[in-house]
Structure 1
Amino acid sequence: MIQNGLGRLLRPFVRLSRLPSRFAAMERSVRRMETSHREHRREIQQALAQLMLPAESVWRRQPPLLDASVPGERVFEQSAMCRQDSFQQPYFSYWTRRLGERLRYHRKLWEFVFVSQALWERGVCARGRRGLGFGVGREPLAALFASEGVAVTATDLAPDGVVEAGWQATNQHAGGKEALRNSVVCPDDLFDRNVEFRFCDMNHVAADLVGYDFCWSACALEHLGSIEKGLAFIERSINCLVPGGWAVHTTEYNVSSDKETVDNLGTVLFRRRDLEALAQRLRAKGHEVATMDWSPGEGPVDRYLDMPPYRPDPHLKMMLSGFTTTSIGIIVRRGLGT
């Protein structure tokens, strides 16, 4: 009887002693479920990608490189979104050649062409002008503008900031002027004469970076830590310009939602509401903001949604953190009286 009573008293302690092994079993079960979930997610993504991918005749070795000897006229009177039909125009082939790129349906190429064409048609991509590039990485734009006689100040994050931001292994960071040299785009003598390089944190732009006819960034400001920091950078970049100077920036745009988005992370997704609020802020300060063309495009490549691991082609829209995103270009002119 005493033994039975003691057994009843000890029973809860026996159960407690088994808890660590039970927790360990639960953790193993959770890990198996997570592994299974990742595997199923990858399988679903691959299946969807194959189902959604347009016929190869639509995108492989397409669009054709057209014979174009001059840029377009009044192409980007409005700010715009990356779309398939842009790639099929003569001006796009012109800038693709000038940039030393291969014509393909890729949104990064669209960003380079958008910046080039927008600045060229506003008359500032010319000899005697001064241009300021932010977060330039290894892009060809600094060399392109230098080839036109523009005095270019190219900037990128200092090496210690690169490690903190996680850019060390991406091969997209410019550690100095030599990383921007591109003899296909700009002869070395012109490059040496017209390009200077400085380190610059886009969240803390140096006060002496002023007096430029134009400035640009290509898909850099979404990596500044938050949506608000990205918008604040655009405002700050305008202070680098002479009155009447132009700022042209491209960034990540959330196509699928104007409410939920990604914020306060390494890559953020700007919504329509964010960019419209920015336009109001800038206009209130006396600046001109080009009206946005919000059309996402209706071509088969526009409708294709690329998923990780991302394809080299076609790649106009992609899935990122559960949202559909693409590139968008913003054009701002500093007010003449500011």
Structure 2
Amino acid sequence: MPLRLLRSLLRARRRGRLTPPAEWLRLQNRESDMLRWTVKVLGADLVQRHYATGLAGPQVRLPEAPARVRLTSRTCRQADIESPWLRHWCRALGTTPFYHRKLWEDCFILQVLWEAGILEPGRRALGFAVGQEPLPAILASRGVEVLATDIAAEDARARDWIATGQHGASTDKLFRPHLSDRASFDRLVAFRSADMAALPEELLDGSRDIVWSACSMEHLGSHERGLAFVEAAMRCLRPGGIAVHTTELNLDAEGETLGQGNTVLYQLRHLEALSARLAALGHTMLPLAHQHPPGIMDQFVDVPPYEEGRVPLGPLSPPHLRLSISGYPCTSVGIVVIAGQAKP
């Protein structure tokens, strides 16, 4: 810094005209907190107005029968939340259609499996990092035999999931009494520990019809580890079986992203590379539909703190289809892979 400028700054500080650095930072933090509050309030008002129109929310009728829409790999979007196919699965989930990407992920997985014709008795499914998801109970209510897995509780990587109530250690937290009786559930659903970063060899037997994971592969430490998991999990499937995975997508396709750490963010280029890798192994990843006319909810980017796991119908619960993760605009993306005849 030039000596002349430094002397000027010192004089201004002595005269009380320059805010000390620590006070300036406190001011910025206070204003940042107020901006976050304002975003939450405006978002909550926006979403409540949409619920009042009947596009989504507690007054929406939930169809008893599913509707075929021929989903492929896909990004989360407002139009899906307002569609009959998603509303049907809200009935099974025991919830109302609301603008949240986690709801979209569960409904997307179920719709893909139903359209593939494998939500039926005699089918076998394997879920990874299931935590306390409702999907095992829903699949079992359709007669599907389910093996649910999660990382072992004694593994250090499980600490955060245990602390936030998202870890699974048995079938107890997976049971949903509105779907079936406990005896029928226990007959079809089993649990075991499994590390997604090093799948147990006994699971790679090619005997399953279904493999799924919901927003888990981005927590394996790097882009490559997540992609390697998807590849390895294909070995669990018989030819013609279906793998459905959801993960975090950085909507900035050309800029920087998070490639290492507890949460990584994929971009279109990573998913395109995954499709090519799977094709080389004899599998088919269905095309990714990521371009669509944006609704207002698709343009709202939620900011921390988030209210994960809660139906956002309260006065301070904005839409959560898009969110900021470390300053990157993100949403959920679902990929669908059909298992081919494994190549040696």
Q: TM-score range by the shorter chain?
A: 0.7 to 0.9
Pairwise mapping of residues 277-316 of structure 1 onto structure 2 (< 5 A)? Answer: 277-295=273-291, 297-311=293-307, 312=312, 313=317, 314-316=319-321
Residues 1:330 and 1:225: Cα distance change in structure 2 (over 3 Å): same
Q: Which runs of 4+ in 1 moved over 6 A?
A: none
CA contact (8 A) 2:82 2:97 kept: no
What's the counterpart of residue 166 of structure 1? 160
Asked if structure 1 preserves the Cα contact closer than 8 Å seen for 2:242 and 2:339, the reply is: yes
TM-score, normalised with respect to structure 2: 0.84
1:82 maps to which residue? 76
Question: Is 2:31 the partner of 1:37?
Answer: no
**Which residue matches 2:93?**
99
Q: Is the 8 A contact 2:123 2:209 kept in 1?
A: yes
1:203 has 2:208 as partner = no
Question: Would you say 1:186 and 2:180 are equivalent positions?
Answer: yes
Counterpart position of 1:16: none
Question: Among residues 245, 255, 268, which one is paired with 2:251 in the alignment?
Answer: 255
- Two-structure CA RMSD over aligned residues (Å): 2.0
The aligned amino acid for 1:58 is H
- In the superposition, relative to structure 1, how do residues 138 and 52 fare at CA in structure 2: closer, same or farther (>3 Å)? closer
Say if 2:62 and 2:91, in contact at 8 Å, map to a contact too. no
Query: Map of 1:15-94 to 2, 5 A cutoff?
Result: 32-50=23-41, 54=46, 56-59=48-51, 62-63=55-56, 64-76=59-71, 78-94=72-88
1:170, 1:49 → 2: CA distance? Answer: 22
Question: Which residue of structure 2 lines up, in the alignment, with residue 334 of structure 1?
Answer: 339
**Partner of residue 267, structure 2:** 271
Distance 1:58 1:122 in 2: 32
User: Which amino acid is 2:201 matched to?
Assistant: A
- Please state how far the C-alpha of 1:35 moved relative to its aligned partner: 3.7
Counterpart-to-counterpart distance in 2, 1:307 and 1:36: 19
* Paired residue type of 1:138: Q
Measure how far apart 1:271 and its partner are.
0.6
* Equivalenced residues, count: 309
Q: Give secondary structure in 1 for the equivalent of 2:297.
A: helix
Instruction: Point out where structure 1 has 5 or more consecutive residues left out of the alignment.
Output: 1-28
Question: Are residues 98 and 51 of structure 1, via their aligned partners in 2, closer, same or farther at CA, if it must alter by over 3 Å?
Answer: closer
* Kept after mapping to 2: 8 A contact 1:59/1:105: no
Match of 1:222 in 2: 218
Which residue number in structure 2 is paired with residue 175 of structure 1?
A: 169
User: In percent, how many aligned pairs have the same letter?
Assistant: 39
Write the distance in 1 (CA, Å) between the matches of 2:228 and 2:38: 40
CA distance in 2, matches of 1:297, 1:318: 18
Cα deviation 1:304-324 (Å, max 9, x = unaligned): 111112253421111110011
Structure 1 pair 321–297 and aligned structure 2 pair: CA distance change class (3 A): farther
Within a 5 Å distance, the mapping from 1:125-144 to structure 2 comes to: 125-144=119-138
Q: What is the one-letter code of the residue matched to 2:153? A: P
Please give the alpha-carbon distance, in whole angstroms, between the structure 2 residues aligned to 1:68 and 1:226: 40
Q: Which has the larger radius of gyration?
A: 1
**8 Å contact kept, 1:71–1:94:** yes
